[in-house]
Amino acid sequence: MLSRLAKFKQLRHFAASGLLVMAATGCATAPGHRAVGQSSAAQPLDHLVVATPDADHDLIAQLLAGEMALTRTDLKTAAASYGKAMQLSTDPRVAEQAAGMAIAVHDAALAEQAIARWQALGAKPASLAMARAQLALDQGSADEARHQLALLTSSGDPDAWRQFGRALLGSRDPAQASSLLEGLATPQRLPADTQAWLAMSELGDKLGRREYAQQIADAAIKRFNSAETYAWAGQLKFRSGDRAGAQVLFQKALAKAPKNVALRLAYATLLGQGGDYAGAAKLLDSGPQNADTYTLRAALAARSNDTKAITRLYNQLQRAPEQARDGGSAYLLGQLAEMLNRDSEALEWYGQVPDEDEHAFDADLRSAVLLHKQGKVVEAHEQLSQMQSNYLDQPAQLRRAYEVDAGLYMHDQKYAQAEAAFSRALQVVPDDPELLYGRGLAYAEAGQIDSAVADFRHLLQIKPDDVDASNALGFTLADANRDLPEAERLIQTARTAKPDDPAIADSWGWLQYRQGHLDQAEQTLRGAWQARKDADVGVHLGEVLWKQGRQEDARRVFDEVRRIDPQSHSLHNALKRLNP
User: What's the pLDDT score for residue 31?
Assistant: 38
Q: DSSP class of residue 190? A: S
Let me know if 427 is exposed, middle or buried by CB neighbors in 10 A (0-12, 13-18, 19+): exposed
Per-residue pLDDT of the chain (580 residues; tens, 9 = 90+): 333 333 333 323 333 333 222 223 333 333 343 333 444 445 544 444 444 556 677 889 899 999 999 999 999 999 999 999 999 999 999 999 999 999 999 999 999 999 999 999 999 999 999 999 999 999 999 999 999 999 999 999 999 999 999 999 989 899 999 999 999 999 999 999 999 999 999 999 999 999 999 999 999 999 999 999 999 999 999 989 898 999 999 999 999 999 899 999 999 988 888 888 888 888 888 888 888 888 899 999 998 888 999 999 999 899 887 766 665 689 999 999 999 999 999 999 999 999 999 999 999 999 999 999 999 999 999 999 999 999 999 999 999 999 999 999 999 999 999 999 999 999 999 999 999 999 999 999 999 999 999 999 999 999 999 999 999 999 999 999 999 999 999 999 999 999 999 999 999 999 999 999 999 999 999 999 999 999 999 999 999 999 999 999 999 999 999 999 998 888 988 898 888 5
Map out the domains of the chain with their CATH numbers: 190-257 (1.25.40.10), 465-580 (1.25.40.10)
CB atoms within 10 A of CB 175: 11
Which residues have CB under 8 Å from 571's CB, separation 6+?
535, 538, 539, 558, 561, 562, 565
Let me know if 195 is exposed, middle or buried by CB neighbors in 10 A (0-12, 13-18, 19+): exposed
Residue 72 region by backbone torsions, left for phi larger than 0, else alpha for psi between -120 and 50, else beta: alpha
Which residue in 475, 416, 407 sits closest to 435, CA to CA? 407
Rounded Cα distance between 229 and 221, Å, is: 5
Helix (H), strand (E) at residue 86: helix 75-88
Helix (H), strand (E) at residue 2: none
Which residues have CB under 8 Å from 485's CB, separation 6+?
none
Rounded Cα distance between 204 and 210, Å, is: 6
**Cβ atoms 205, 236 nearer than 8 A:** yes
Which residues have CB under 8 Å from 236's CB, separation 6+?
201, 205, 210, 213, 214, 217
Rounded Cα distance between 381 and 289, Å, is: 38
Rounded Cα distance between 537 and 80, Å, is: 71
Share in percent of the chain as helix, strand, coil (round to 5): 70, 0, 30
DSSP assignment string, 542-553: HHHHHHTT-HHH
